[in-house]
Structure formats: C-alpha cells, structure tokens
Amino acid sequence: MLVALDILMVLAGLAGGINSGPGCLWMYLLGCAFFVPIVYDLLFTFRYKAAEVGTAPVYTKLMGITVVLWTLYPLVFFFAEYKNTLSETNEILCYAVLDVIAKCVFGLILLNSRESIEKVTDGGYETVV
C-alpha cells in the first residue's frame, strides 16, 4: 500500500508541476494527502517493528533523515511551483542538495550499520514483546 501511495504522491507532484494556477495547488494538496500515511507508518508502525527485531537505533537515524528530508521536498515544490518565490535555478539547487543528502547520508548510515542489518537478516535476533 505504501508503495502505491508513494507512486501516487510522485504522480500528483508531476501533475502539479505541469499544471498552473488552481490545478497546481490541488495536485500539491493531493500529493501531501498521499504523503501523510507514509510518514505515519515511518514514524510509528515501522519504528515498533524495528524495536522488535533490535534495529531501533539504526532505524531511528534513517527514519529521521527520511522524514525531515522528504518533508522538505514538498516545501520546495510549494515555493517554487505554486508561490513562484524560488527561481528555477534555486529550485534545481534545492532538489539537488536534498537528493544528495537523502541518498548519500542515508547510504552511509546504512553501510555503517551492517552489523545490525546482518543480525536481522541472519535471524539472530530476539523478539522484544
């Protein structure tokens, strides 16, 4: 379900970027509506699952980066596409910086957390009830 919501969120952003005027705002709001359950699951549902398998510290770092950065994307979109207060150059720069931080920092934390991940994938964890 979350993958479908993510796809719909991206498609709404695309439609908002193509549209102008009220269509842009409606697509933005629709994309935000698809975003809310994704953030909810990241903050709550998956956090509890990570605690059950013993990867809560790693998950908390990754989830924090994801939620903060993913929340900045719609803000950039809002100011660039709807409010027109960001120039095209600044919009591209903002997205580039967000992409690099989101992917590279996320990847580095993940790579430095191999022990926790291997512990889970090998099945060598204790379920916390």
- The predicted pLDDT at position 129 comes to 41
62 in Cβ contact with 109 (< 8 Å)? yes
Question: 35 burial class (0-12, 13-18, 19+ CB within 10 angstroms)?
Answer: buried
Please state whether the predicted TM-score (pTM) of the whole model is above 0.85. no
Band of pLDDT at residue 31, cut at 50, 70 and 90: very high
- Reported as a single tens digit per residue, the pLDDT across 17-30 is 888 778 888 998 99
101 in Cβ contact with 64 (< 8 Å)? no
